[in-house]
Amino acid sequence: MDLDELASVGGFFALRTGTPGDGHAPLARLYAGDAAPLVARVDTVAARLRAPERRVAASVAHLGLVARLWSVALGCAALHGEVPDLDPARLHWDPERSSPDDLCLTGCGALPADASTIRETVQYGHLVPLADALRSDTRISSQLLWGNAGSALAGAVRELRTWARRSGRPEVAERAAALAAELFAHPDLSGTVHGRAMRRRSCCLYYRCPGGGLCGDCVFDLPPRRSAH
């Protein structure tokens, strides 16, 4: 697979291979119960955004990493007809870097580019244990996290559509849309977005940060009014 072409879609699609840096940790370590890298990431996001609640920073941090995982897998499938083996033991992540999250894969095995493989690789291999790890540190609803996952998947589809139009590769957009439709059929993702614009049905809470507005696909048309209490 051509990782340079993949990265040309956008920053969330970039995937490095080789030797990870000193600050990187395999995601398997996080999923096995070592919460330190995730706690550090949420702390970093909270400080940068001046988040009023830890769950706000946790949601934003989660959304950023989930977007990277979906983008890499769906992008490779749509562009090259194969999916990188994102084994959590070989996929390294630096919690201190700014968004887009820095990912480094030690080795780059290829898997079939079908929705079932993408679901096993991303949803079951990463999103489920990531949500468990996050909720062990921060009180945050499962519904919000699956909303983030749906929003991130929809965002990857939109970016691939844009790239396909720019590059004269309509088949890439078609493959991305078809794969995403199958992925959204799963009960955990079904109903998280709606309409052709794939607008989400929940909110990531970013609007609660000082100066934070609504995301382009937010469920709200205007930021909710905050209670005086």
Q: Is the bond into 100 cis (omega within 30 degrees of 0)?
A: yes
Residue 101 in domain: yes
Question: What is the total residue count of the chain?
Answer: 229
Decide if 136 is inside a domain: yes
| Residue 166, domain member (yes or no) | yes
Environment class of residue 114 by beta-carbon count within 10 Å: exposed (0-12), middle (13-18) or buried (19+)? middle
What's the confidence (pLDDT) of residue 69? 98
Contact between 31 and 133 (Cβ < 8 Å): yes
Model confidence pLDDT, tens digit, residues 114-150: 999 999 999 999 999 999 999 998 999 999 999 999 9
Query: How many Cα atoms are found within 13 Å in the side-chain-facing hemisphere of 62?
Result: 34
Residue type, 195: G
Q: What is the pLDDT of residue 152?
A: 97
Residue 219 included in any domain: no
In a domain? residue 229: no
pLDDT tens digits, one per residue of 52-111: 999 999 999 999 999 999 999 999 999 999 999 999 999 999 998 888 999 999 987 899
pLDDT reading at 204 higher than 90: no
> With a threshold of 0.85, does the pTM exceed it?
yes
Domain residue limits at 189: 3-208
Predicted confidence at residue 229, as pLDDT, reads: 38
Task: Dig out the tokens for 91 from the structure.
Answer: 């996929």
pLDDT tens digits for range 36-56: 999 999 999 999 999 999 999
221 in any annotated domain: no
Q: How many domains does the chain contain in total?
A: 1
Q: What pLDDT is recorded for position 218? A: 77
User: Taking 80 as the threshold, does the pLDDT of residue 225 lie above it?
Assistant: no
Reported as a single tens digit per residue, the pLDDT across 167-179 is: 999 999 999 999 9
Provide mean pLDDT across the span 29-42.
93
Query: Does the residue 220 lie in any domain?
Result: no
128-137 and 142-167 helices, crossing angle to 10°: 130
Per-chain mean pLDDT for the chain: 92
The pLDDT of residue 226 is: 61
Domain assignment present for residue 214? The answer is: no
